[in-house]
Each structure stands twice: as structure tokens, then as C-alpha cells.
């Protein structure tokens, strides 16, 4: 029987963000499923949708960025269904209190305003520069990211912003994890830095952390082969050399 793997995309992303990994995993005999969240505006509701549409009772679960936050909510709701977990370029803390939280909220609302007034691609040109390694600005990967963002609408963007601003504290949840955990992060991720993932690794003894070189936040598209190799080893249950 095939291993089933659910791959959860991040903010404004779709199946394109996981395209290389789906190809690699399916060639390895792993059945892959990449959900869509539509206009759902909470991480918990997204997680319930993932579980309702899951192609198998038990599955491997990987999430990137916001998708990793959704993966943690899946784990909260149905821990026995998750065989192994991979979290890429993400975090576990709630919206910060005080000025830091207000800055994040204001910046997200500013970008939403650009999306409404000038379109999703125009918003993406500003937002995505902080999401990839500077060497990829305006290159093919950058343009592919803009193509993906343009497939979404401001309404979807607003719903997902609400979900992220309402994100719960997942630190206590992660510290109770019992299934195998892979953590991955772009070495140059400015949004979800490597140090944050080192803190997460410390909460889960025996977990593995992989830093993907010459990559920002969008590791699955920036370093597709390296991420695919890490996920293949994760699915097989074998540590990387």
C-alpha cells in the first residue's frame, strides 16, 4: 500500500510551491495530496478541512510557512493520524504583544491595500523580495512566485492574513510531539530565520534540522532538489548523511 503524504502550502501558495517535491515523492511511490484553503480565515478551520479531505486515515504531513502552522493544528486535532511531520520555514509563536504585533498587522494590511488597489502581482513584487534570496530577485523563480500569487484574489489574501494574525501558540503542542520530526529552513530566510528553527528543534529531542544553503523563505522553489532529497529521507525514516 502506498505511503500517503499531505503537503500544505503557505500564504497565497498553491500546488506549484510543492511541484518538484510531488514529482520526486511520486516517483518514489508516495501518493501526494496538496490541499487548497479557499477563503477559510482560521488555521484551525483550515486544519479541519485538511483532515476532512485527507486521502488516508494515516499520513505523513509536511507544511511550508503558514502551511506548517496548519500542520501543527492538524496535529492538535488528530495526533494519531500523523505518522511523521515536516515543518519548513515557519514558527510556533502567536502574534507578538504590543508594538511588534502592531507592526506586523500594519505591514500585512498595507500589502493587502496594494493588492486591492493595484492587483496581486503588484503586491507580490513588494512582498516576495523579502521571501527569496536576493540573487533570485526578478529571476525565473521570482516570476514563478508572482504567477502563483496572481492566481489568488484579495479576498483569499485577506482571509489568510486573518488566519495568521490569529495564530495560536504552538510551543506547548510541539513539546508534546511523539512522531518523527523534520525541520527545514533556508539558510538566508529573513522572515523565519534559522535560529527560530534551532529553538524548535530543542523542544523535540531526536528531531532533525536541515539548513538549505543559498535560499530564502521559499525553499521548495529555490532549492527544489535539496528539499526533495530531505523529504525522501524523511518519508523513508532514514537520517540524511
Per residue in 25-41, pLDDT tens?
A: 999 999 999 999 999 99
Count other C-beta atoms under 10 Å from residue 49's C-beta: 17
Per residue in 174-219, pLDDT tens?
A: 989 989 999 999 999 999 999 999 999 999 999 999 999 999 999 9
The burial of 208, by beta-carbon neighbours within 10 Å (0-12 exposed, 13-18 middle, 19 or more buried), is given as middle
The pLDDT value given to residue 1: 46
Show the domains of the chain with their CATH numbers: 3-95+169-236 (3.40.50.1820), 98-162 (no CATH)
Per residue in 75-124, pLDDT tens?
A: 999 999 999 999 999 999 999 999 999 999 999 999 999 999 999 999 99
d(CA 211, CA 88) in angstroms, rounded, equals 10
**What is the SS3 assignment for 30?**
strand
Look over the chain and give the mean of its residue pLDDT values, rounded to a whole number. Answer: 96
Going by pLDDT thresholds of 50, 70 and 90, the confidence category of residue 55 is very high
- The secondary structure element, H or E, covering residue 171 is helix 171-174
Over 90: is that where the pLDDT of 240 sits? no
d(CA 206, CA 141) in angstroms, rounded, equals 33
User: Whose CA is closest to 121, among 145, 104, 105?
Assistant: 145
The pLDDT value given to residue 237: 83
d(CA 78, CA 61) in angstroms, rounded, equals 12
Amino acid at each position: 500500500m502506498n505511503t500517503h503524504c499531505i503537503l500544505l502550502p503557505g500564504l497565497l501558495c498553491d500546488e506549484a510551491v510543492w511541484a518538484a517535491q510531488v514529482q520526486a515523492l511520486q516517483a518514489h511511490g508516495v501518493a501526494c495530496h496538496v490541499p487548497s484553503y479557499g477563503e477559510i480565515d482560521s488555521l484551525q478551520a483550515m486544519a479541519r478541512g485538511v483532515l476532512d479531505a485527507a486521502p488516508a486515515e494515516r499520513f505523513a504531513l509536511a507544511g511550508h510557512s503558514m502551511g506548517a502552522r496548519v500542520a501543527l493544528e492538524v496535529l492538535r486535532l488528530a495526533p494519531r493520524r500523523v505518522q511523521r511531520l515536516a515543518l519548513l520555514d515557519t514558527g510556533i509563536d502567536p502574534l507578538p504583544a504590543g508594538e511588534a504585533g502592531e507592526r506586523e498587522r500594519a505591514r500585512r494590511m498595507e500589502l493587502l491595500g496594494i493588492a486591492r488597489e493595484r492587483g496581486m502581482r503588484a503586491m507580490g513584487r513588494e512582498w516576495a523580495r523579502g521571501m527569496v534570496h536576493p540573487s533570485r530577485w526578478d529571476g525565473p523563480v521570482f516570476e514563478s512566485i508572482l504567477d502563483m500569487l496572481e492566481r489568488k484574489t484579495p479576498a483569499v489574501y485577506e482571509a489568510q492574513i486573518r488566519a495568521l494574525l490569529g495564530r495560536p501558540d504552538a510551543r506547548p503542542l510541539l513539546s508534546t510531539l511523539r512522531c518523527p520530526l523534520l525541520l527545514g529552513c533556508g539558510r538566508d530566510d529573513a522572515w523565519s530565520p534559522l535560529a527560530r528553527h534551532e529553538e524548535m528543534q530543542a523542544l523535540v529531542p531526536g528531531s532533525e534540522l536541515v539548513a538549505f544553503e543559498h535560499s530564502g523563505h521559499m525553499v521548495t522553489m529555490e532549492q527544489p532538489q535539496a528539499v526533495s532529497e530531505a523529504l525522501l529521507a524523511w518519508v523513508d525514516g532514514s537520517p540524511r548523511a
